[in-house]
Structure 1
Amino acid sequence: RIEQDLGNLGVKIGRATLSNWVIKNGTAFFTPMYEFFHRKLLERGFAMADETPVQILHEPGRRAQTQSYMWLFRSGEDGEYPIILYKYSETRAGDTAVDFLDGFHGYLMCDGYSGYNKVKTAKRLACWAHVRRYLIDAIPKGKQLDYSQPSVQGVMYINQLFDKEDKIRKKYKTFDAIKEARDSQERPIIEGFLSWLDKQEPVRNSRLDKAVTYIRNRREHLATYLEDGRCSFSNNLSENSIRPFVVGRKGWLFCNTPAGAETSAMAYTMVEMAKANGVNPYHYLTFLFEKQPNETMSDDELEQLAPWNDEVKAEIQKRIEEQNKQQ
């Protein structure tokens, strides 16, 4: 579409040329910042992860129809500045998470995908939103208010947890207070839920059987979030962070090459990092291209280009104000 729009303006630039510009400039100027963000993420004590399919037309030794994956790794809800990173991988194998999180020692919130079990240095957190979805799917049609249904009973327990979590988050402002409130108000609900779980004997291969099996396989992680007020209760924040890529994929459909997918991961990272830290994405990208970060820069120097840096925020705001004056 860009190629066509430029052609209508009398500028004939092929899509291959446009793509190569993005790949080469993205690789040159985004890579140093991307790797810096990655190092900062590994220093944190709380992380989250998710992944979604992406089609790459020309991957060596693979058919165009073969699914590849875009992974999302981000910082958790620890009260510090957010870090959001996208990572392209040919597969959904857990080795991607192991490699990317090498050096991370802390709590990891993710969905129930077993591949994350390979990250031995992380302490897994279970996503209660996923647990609830499985039980909601197990409710027979038209039986949502039939409290004799085991699946409805399970959902009621979890709804209580979500209600408590929402009220606690609104009322308490320190992580110690959140931890204490969770322990006194939510732990009894979890104990009741686990007691309910132990009594379930669903019909084999039914939707309830699928839900109960899913929950039982993650039982040891269900109450881990009670250990620290900074621990996440669900993986919703991570899912929200990967959504821009999912929505964008509906428009551009696929990547042509692995190089394009890798650059796309870095470009999405820069844009979402800017947005998460309250910085205008367009002006932040312009700022990075002007500063031209490179591999010779120290972490202290790269810190001066990070979107959470107060001086960077002030510079971006200044540019926005100047732009508004000119309009």
Structure 2
Amino acid sequence: MLDTQQLKAEDLKGLSPAELTALAVQMLAHIGEQTKHIDALDKRVNSQAQGIKWRDAKIESITFQLAKLKAWRFGAKTERMNAEQREIFEETFAADQASLEAQLAALQSSTPDGSPGGRAPEDEKRRQPKREALPAHLPRVDQRIEPEDTRCPTPECGQPMVRVGEDISERLDIVPAQFFVQRQIRGKWACKCCQLLVQEPAAPQVFDNALPTPGLQAHTAISRFVDHIPYYRLEQINARSGVHTPRSTLAAWGGQTGAQLMPLYDAHRAFVLSSRIVQADETPISMLDPGAGKTRKAYMWAYVRGAFDPEPGVVFDFCLGRGGKYPSEFLKGWSGTLVVDAYAGYDAVLSLEGRSTAFCYAHARRKFDELIKTAPKASPVAAEAIQRIAWLYRIEADARELTCEERLQMRRERSKPLWDQLHLWLKLERTRVPDGGAIAKAIDYSLNRWEGFGRFLLDGDVPLDNNHCENRMRPWALGRRNWLFIGSQLAGERAAVVMSLLQSAKLNGHEPWAYLKDVLTRMPTQLNSRIEESLPHRWQPAG
């Protein structure tokens, strides 16, 4: 058979019709293979072009945010802040800058298809400030990294190599209540006859040239977002151990940690919204407004998998307002039952097909409870309402450990008759009280939303109230009393990322420091395709 690649015109002379037919078939097959190859190349080029376009847009956006941050920092408007506000602003700026620079470095060092790329040229690297030597009084814990085989790897040689030196790098680490310096000692092995040097590479790190280890990063994040310790107090705590960690440095570590956890947060958000029962709530948080020299009201929204879900999880979303556009955007593409209070902002979310609402009956109960506390003798109707509602909650306590089907069956047998009786009683009592009174408003609150309150009788996985979600908001209330306000929108978004993972880790029974330390240790070598292994509901401590 002729080689179509080397075929010449004179080669066709003297060929029989059968040979010409076979040659044509061969050439058509070759053309078909080339066409497929060209199509595959076109798809790859288009994919890479889209990747480059997205990366360039992201780099432009982050570069703009960095420039805006620097303008705010050095602008005259910062003079309107008092000393305390200026300190918070400087902390937030350090964290925001570190977060944006970490994201920018990740984009600039990756290839268009998302695979890790080479390091940036030396002249493009940001100049690193010279840092002080780690305190000499801290104990050193050595990690010795040596080749598994110390024989010369040259096939023709194979002789034992001689250890000729080592490289020592020091990074700051911590165990609870004790600092120590982690040293990585990488031995150098050389073959004298081959003039060959062998040394194990340095262990991968979350951030190149970073001072803190994953353990110290996790400790700083836990102190900030679990123990709610402001950075200035954490600086003082560390100083008692003889370690100087300025609040700006701690804030920068926090910014880098938040940036590193973003892919995990995105995967965790998808997991939470994969539940057909989602409970939602929001709480106000003060955010510093440097231009006005004061704070403004922002909101932290919480979305929690149903209270009876065997794989719990919560994801937070920091927003500048309380309008319905925020949950509508966050829940885009989700369908199921949303358990909420009666706030009208959720109406837009629930207007789409495939979604239903279940209202929190604890809110209805509070209306009656407030009447009892303010005028116990004048509220016999409220007292009886509380008693009737208590019967429903006793049944819920009995049904908590049952399966969805068993719980629904118990509710139909025991709760449904009490629910119907409560409905008739409330309508009767409403006819006996004057309009505009406190007891009338309490009764109307239940009657006007009766269908939403009764959703738990149609689905065994729908809870009677939204207390499970409201309990997830308690850390934010505690934090407000400690750090007073969020420094910026980026800081709020970063807090939502870290808190989502840490609170979900606690929901799944994990010790938050152990979880976060292990996750930050794995991150440098974690494949994107296996990132779900680090989600709180799937995470297993390294054996």
TM range (shorter): 0.7 to 0.9
Q: Counterparts of 1:141 and 1:279 in 2: how far apart (Å)? A: 42
From 473, 485, 500, the equivalent of 1:242 is 473
User: Aligned pair in 2 of structure 1 residues 58, 293: CA closer, same or farther (>3 Å)?
Assistant: farther
Between 1 and 2, higher relative CO (CA 8 Å, sep ≥ 6) is seen in: 1
Matched to 2:480, the amino acid is R
Q: What is residue 323 of structure 1 aligned with on the other side?
A: none
SS of match in other structure, 1:91: coil
CA apart distance, 1:215: 1.7
The answer to whether 1:85 aligns with 2:315 is yes
Q: Which moved more, 1:107-116 or 1:196-205?
A: 196-205
Q: What is residue 25 of structure 1 aligned with on the other side?
A: 257
Taking the TM superposition and a 5 Å limit, the aligned residue runs for 1:1-327 are 1-7=233-239, 11-27=243-259, 29-58=260-289, 64-120=294-350, 121=352, 122-139=355-372, 141=374, 143=376, 149-169=380-400, 173-199=402-428, 200-201=430-431, 202-292=433-523, 297-298=528-529, 301-309=530-538, 312-315=539-542
Matched to 1:139, the amino acid is I
Q: Is the 8 A contact 1:55 1:64 kept in 2?
A: no
Count matched residues.
306
Unaligned runs of 5+ in 2: 1-232
RMSD: 2.4
Q: Which structure has the larger Rg over C-alpha atoms?
A: 2
Q: Counterparts of 2:273 and 2:524 in 1: how far apart (Å)? A: 21
Matched to 2:361, the amino acid is W
Deviation string, structure 1 residues 72-128 (Cα, Å, up to 9, x no partner) = 111003433111111111111122111111111111112221211221243111212
Q: Counterparts of 2:459 and 2:324 in 1: how far apart (Å)? A: 26
Deviation string, structure 1 residues 136-177 (Cα, Å, up to 9, x no partner) = 112374636x8x82222222221111112212335xx22111
TM-score by length of 2: 0.53
Deviation string, structure 1 residues 8-63 (Cα, Å, up to 9, x no partner) = 55554432332132123212x2111111011112221111111111111137x767
Q: Is the 8 A contact 2:411 2:457 kept in 1?
A: yes
Q: Counterparts of 1:62 and 1:297 in 2: how far apart (Å)? A: 42
Q: Is the 8 A contact 2:289 2:295 kept in 1?
A: no
Q: Counterparts of 2:253 and 2:356 in 1: how far apart (Å)? A: 41
Q: Counterparts of 1:132 and 1:63 in 2: how far apart (Å)? A: 41
Identity percentage over the alignment?
28
Q: Which moved more, 1:6-15 or 1:66-75?
A: 6-15
Unaligned runs of 5+ in 1: 319-327
SS of match in other structure, 1:67: strand
Q: Is the 8 A contact 2:358 2:452 kept in 1?
A: yes
User: Aligned pair in 2 of structure 1 residues 15, 189: CA closer, same or farther (>3 Å)?
Assistant: same
Q: Counterparts of 1:197 and 1:294 in 2: how far apart (Å)? A: 61
Q: Is the 8 A contact 2:518 2:541 kept in 1?
A: no
SS of match in other structure, 2:376: coil
Matched to 1:84, the amino acid is V
CA apart distance, 1:296: 7.5
User: Aligned pair in 2 of structure 1 residues 177, 217: CA closer, same or farther (>3 Å)?
Assistant: same
SS of match in other structure, 2:278: strand
Matched to 1:271, the amino acid is L
Q: Is the 8 A contact 1:128 1:233 kept in 2?
A: yes
Q: Counterparts of 2:519 and 2:418 in 1: how far apart (Å)? A: 49
Q: Counterparts of 2:522 and 2:423 in 1: how far apart (Å)? A: 55
Q: Counterparts of 1:197 and 1:159 in 2: how far apart (Å)? A: 15
